[in-house]
Structure 1
Amino acid sequence: MSTELSKLEQVTQELKKLKTLNRELEAIIESSYDVIYITDKNGVTLKTNSAIERITGIPKEYYVGKNVDALMKRGILKSSVTHKVLKQKRSVSTIQYNYSGKETLITGNPVMNDEGEIEKVVTNIRDLSELNELQTALKKANELNNSYKQEIEKLKSSTKKEEDVIITNHQMKLIYEMAERIADVDATVLILGETGVGKDVLAKFIYSKSTRAKQGNFIKLNCGAIPSNLLESELFGYESGAFTGANAKGKPGMFELADNGILFLDEVGELSFELQVKLLRTLQEKEIRRVGATKTKKVNVRIIAATNRNLKEMVLNGEFREDLYYRLNVIPISIPSLKERRDDIWPLIQLFLTQINHRYKKDKRIDVKLNDFFYRYNWPGNVRELSNLIERLVLTTQEQEIKIQDLPLEYRESKNSSLAFAELMTLKEAVELAEEKVLSLAVQACKTTYEIADALNTSQPTIVRKLKKYHLKIKE
């Protein structure tokens, strides 16, 4: 009898614990500003929170027990992220208008059982309409203050306009924070990254935050755009009569024009071996000699170099001087590609659309499906490609709303997978690529390594080790 009572008491205690945990879980879900929507593997709604009433205007009790198919038939949902998650067996994000006409970002995440099968789908719904309203209000405020900005610009000693910088991604924030910290040191900076990621924007940002912005100019030279036989005179200048066709008075080079300022050498990996020697000597001695001159001239120039090539590999192949590489590589900064920082895509779209509409006196807007395409596309040309495509669409479309069918043919025919295998690779490399992608999504969705371990059905120490391996950090 006493044994039975003991078991009953134990069961009672366990029941109390479960009730307490259930209340805590209910409180956590209910306190979320975003909609949390949970369905089973058949698409039947198990639970949602009150935030859904703010976004859709329909009481949350209405959804419980209803299948997402029935909600689609009623017109409450246009498409189901739950179905996509069940079909693709991975996290899925999309942008769509909901029942009440509000633009929403919807992300569905699968919950796996011990057999690796999906037993539930947890969907997060964020209202983008409020962000759009804030964007409109900010635009009006900026227009209101435009006259004050113009007066301030007149008072500035420098007439150069600082380019707009979008810093939403956590990794990009760290990069720009470091760039601001090293703005006033004279050490050489080497910016690495794919074509179009914004290397020149970062270089101008460093210049704008430095005291050199008040003392000298920001001069950019594209080392790959000028023939090597002309590049030396462009860099170092020339004396009168130095060569046939030369200006009779001579001409200062980029180093002289950038004196007390910053010289940005873009595509530095394209420099010939002879110019690499002369550039190294200039960096060491801080003086230049014009073509055809007999005397040297002291210059106070900070060098920022950039390349999309692997300079270290070029050194090993004998294509780039090792001593110059280490002179340039004092502060290396690597900018991630746009597909590695997708949270920057939406703000960049808004920025470019606003700028291009203003430049061409247009009032175009982008359809939600096209926004979703932009978010999923891998952007081999990065930020530059995104900017150029938006400008092209604004100028070539007839309607005010730009839709996905307005895309050029080469974009519409693209398979455009966010997890793309561009070339043949080993199974180990393919597994690592997929693993890194899943973990990248997890650090965006989860707040702790324990949550990630639970979501991915593995141990917390394994998650810590994997995050360290792929240099990933949980989003703060």
Structure 2
Amino acid sequence: MKDNLDRYKYIFDEILRMTDDGFIVVDKEGIVTDINDQYCDFLGTRKEKVVGRNIKETISNSKMIDIMQNACREEGAIHKFVEGETKEADNKFLLVSRSCVYNEEHEVIASVAQVKFRLQTLDCAKKLMKEYSELEFYKEEYNKISTKYYTFDGMIGSSKNFLCIKKIAMRAAKNSFPVLLTGETGTGKEVFARAIHNGSDRKDKPMVSINCGAIPSELLESELFGYEEGSFTGAKKGGKIGKLIHADGGTVFLDEIGDMPKDMQVKLLRVLQEKEVDKIGGTTPVSVDIRVIAATRQNLAKMVIEGQFREDLYYRLNVINIEMIPLRDRREDILVFANCFLNKINDEYKTSTTLSKEVKKCFQGYSWPGNIRELDNVIRSSYASCDEFVIQLTDLPTKMASSHNVNIFSGSDEKMLKNMVNSYECSIIKEVLKKCNWNCQLTANRLGIHRSLLYKKMKKFGIKIKKTI
């Protein structure tokens, strides 16, 4: 029995040390039996001067004895100390909660009080308000960015075939039918999905994106459907809410749906049919109201014929089909995208870099197998390697510059081959010079030629050495 009492005493003392609040305990005679250091510091006294004395000697207007006599409790009361009984004269108000303590026979044996120090309470409130304000600020900024960049009005492009699919997407935003976005990688499928969501009556609810090809198949079910606590080894305490439940009332974007395992296809089909989600380890289905937008770079119709994708799920998803257009089929939009990406970089770094005429022609003639995403990447890499305020052919990836040079010199000119070789040799020398930070000796070594020969070629092609800082 004594060991248990000692144990609880140690625990109680540690709690009193850890807390930011003040605590005081009195027996039924009003004698203080315990007080923590925080409360002593507020009162401007020491523990040994308080413990063992009547509480009225320290806090003359204390209500602790009244609480015991009336066998009651009170919470959040304001207590004003008598002048001179606190450490600081201008800090004499507290928020206090008091209660009597009963034994097993329901007899009052003590009284305890917990106080909230005004300044600390204000500090905590300020911290919480600051955190809340920052959270609201970032939330508003995120919504602004989301709305700005993922709306139909913010979409770039004026080509006829692009405007056609944009019109289909705008109509799709007016209902909640499933949408299937198909087409090559980098054509802007997620941009369209977000624009459809932001243009619908679900825009104030979440849009949850899931890349079916990026999540391991063994984890995909728990990500989508969630799980109950203890449903499998490694399940975290409290379980997990799946993304489908999290998106209730909003939209789920299933990117690369063609990579979804067949066993998961069956479970997704049930969600679409029954509008219910079965959590792993759960016993009761959870009703959900979600709009599904799926996207894939694969030919789902062919996968259905080959038995790689469920036919019933395909028709569930393919209610509204939007075939995205590759960049090579909307060439009038290429320079619009290029200038848009470059302007964003210029705004960020306070520069005014532009594209040369040769680069513009190169962009118009290139096939862009990676579509808009590749164009964005080329603009960034070219900007990074550009030494002046104009991006030149030599700043572009070698494969692009080379293909452009071939196109330039195509024709019947008898000097065509010589011009092509000279142009390609010039671009190679410039590229190696840049990589070597315009160090001629290092460049000559990389090219496998003598430095004097490098100088001759640089003079021939009009290549000037750039000064480095």
TM-score normalised to structure 2 length: 0.54
Task: Find the aligned partners of 1:399 and 1:316 in 2 and give their Cα distance.
Answer: 54
Distance 1:301 1:282 in 2: 9
Rate the CA distance shift 1:157–1:194 in 2: closer, same or farther, 3 A.
closer
* Counterpart selection for 1:345 from 309, 334, 338: 334
In structure 2, how many angstroms separate the alpha carbons of the residues matched to 1:331 and 1:408?
38
Q: Distance in 1 between matches of 2:302 and 2:168?
A: 26
Secondary structure of the corresponding residue to residue 413 of structure 1: helix
Number of residue pairs matched by the alignment: 266
Q: CA deviation at 1:415?
A: 6.6
- Counterpart for residue 170 of structure 1: 160
The answer to whether 1:207 aligns with 2:193 is no
Indicate conservation of the 8 Å contact 1:222/1:267, yes or no: yes
RMSD: 2.2
Compared CA separation, residues 157 and 351, structure 1 to 2 (3 A): closer
Answer whether contact 2:168 2:322 (CA < 8 A) is retained.
Answer: no
Structure 1 residues 340, 290: closer, same or farther in 2, change over 3 A?
Answer: same
- SS in structure 1 of the partner of residue 203 of structure 2: helix
Q: Does 1:181 align with 2:171?
A: yes
- Per the alignment, do residues 155 and 381 of structure 1 end up closer, same or farther by CA in structure 2, a change over 3 Å counting? closer
Label 1:192 to 1:371 Cα distance change in 2 as closer, same or farther (>3 A).
same
> Which residue number corresponds to residue 259 of structure 2?
270
Number of the residue aligned with 2:401: 412
Rounded Cα–Cα distance in structure 2 between residues aligned with 1:238 and 1:159: 33
Residues 204, 285 of structure 1: CA spacing in aligned structure 2 closer, same or farther, 3 A cutoff?
A: same
Q: In structure 1, what residue type is equivalent to 2:159?
A: N
The one-character-per-residue Cα deviations of 1:135-193 (angstroms, maximum 9, x if unpaired) are: xxxxxxxxxxxxxxxx9x95997773442411211111111112112212111000111
Could you tell me which residue of structure 2 aligns to residue 231 of structure 1?
220
Partner of 1:466: none
Q: Is 1:197 aligned to 2:187, yes or no?
A: yes
Corresponding residue for 2:365?
376
Mapping of residues 344-363 of structure 1, within 5 Å: 344-363=333-352
Shift of 1:263: 0.5
Do 2:209 and 2:255's aligned partners in 1 also have CA atoms closer than 8 Å? yes
Give, in whole Å, the separation in 1 of the partners of 2:333 and 2:174: 27
Q: 1:253 aligns with which of 237, 242, 247?
A: 242
User: Secondary structure of 2:200's partner?
Assistant: coil
Structure 1 residue 160 corresponds to structure 2 residue 146: yes
Match of 1:27 in 2: none
**Selected match of 1:390 from 372, 379, 386:** 379
Match of 1:135 in 2: none
Give yes or no for contact 2:353–2:390 (8 Å, CA) kept in 1.
yes
Amino acid at match of 1:160: S
Displaced runs of 4 or more, over 6 A: 155-159, 415-418
CA shift for structure 1 position 246 = 2.3
Kept in 2: contact 1:238–1:293 (CA 8 A) = yes
Task: Provide closer, same or farther for how the CA distance between residues 336 and 377 of structure 1 changes in structure 2, counting only shifts above 3 A.
Answer: same
Distance 2:206 2:406 in 1: 43
Render the CA deviation track for 1:208-254: whole Å, top value 9, x for unaligned.
1111002x111111111111101111111111122222221111111
Separation (CA, whole Å) in 1 of partners of 2:406 and 2:294: 33
Select the structure of larger CA radius of gyration: 2
Deviations 1:55-97 (A, max 9, x none): xxxxxxxxxxxxxxxxxxxxxxxxxxxxxxxxxxxxxxxxxxx
SS at match of 2:283: coil
Aligned residue runs from structure 1 range 69-88, under 5 A: none
Query: Which one of the candidate residues 299, 308, 317 is aligned to 1:310?
Result: 299
Q: Which residue of 1 aligns with 2:388?
A: 399
Q: 1:162 touches 1:205 (CA, 8 Å); kept in 2?
A: no
Give the secondary-structure state (helix, strand or coil) at the position aligned to 1:414. helix
Instruction: Tell me if structure 2 keeps the 8 A contact 1:287–1:296.
Output: yes
Change (3 A) 1:265 1:333: same
* Residue 293 to residue 182, structure 1, CA distance change in 2 (3 Å): same
Q: 1:310 to 1:155 in 2, by over 3 A?
A: closer
SS in 2 for 1:269: helix
Contact 1:223 1:266 in 2 (8 A): yes
SS of residue paired to 1:356: helix
SS of residue matched to 2:292:
strand
Give the residue type in structure 1 aligned to 2:201: T
Compared with structure 1, are the counterparts of its residues 317 and 358 closer, same or farther at alpha carbon in structure 2 (3 Å cutoff)?
A: same
Give 1:295 deviation, angstroms: 1.2
Q: How does 1:117-156 map to 2 (within 5 A)?
A: 154=140
- What is the CA-CA distance between 1:271 and the residue it aligns to? 0.3
Q: Aligned letter for 1:203?
A: A
In structure 2, stretches of 5+ residues that fail to align are 1-136, 408-469
Percent sequence identity over aligned pairs? 44
Confirm or deny that 1:286 pairs with 2:275. yes
Give 2:309's match in structure 1, choosing from 306, 320, 333: 320
Residues 357, 394 of structure 1: 8 Å contact kept: no
Asked whether the equivalents of residues 376 and 416 of structure 1 are also in contact (C-alpha less than 8 Å), the reply is no
Q: Displacement of 1:357 after TM fit?
A: 2.0
Q: Secondary structure at the match of 1:279?
A: helix
Answer yes or no: is the 8 Å Cα contact 1:377–1:416 preserved in 2. no
Evaluate the alpha carbon distance shift between residue 205 and residue 416 of structure 1 in structure 2; reply closer, same or farther with a 3 A threshold.
Answer: farther
Runs of 5+ in structure 1 lacking a partner?
A: 1-150, 419-476
The residue type equivalent to 1:351 in the other structure is: C
Q: Give the distance between the partners of 1:258 and 1:311, measured in 2 at CA.
A: 25
Residues 154 and 231 of structure 1: is their aligned pair in 2 closer, same or farther, counting only changes over 3 Å? closer
Q: Partner amino acid for 2:240?
A: K
1:364-401 CA distances to partner (integer Å, 9 max, x unpaired)?
21111101101110100000000111011112222111
- CA gap of 1:408–1:158, structure 2 versus 1, over 3 A, is closer
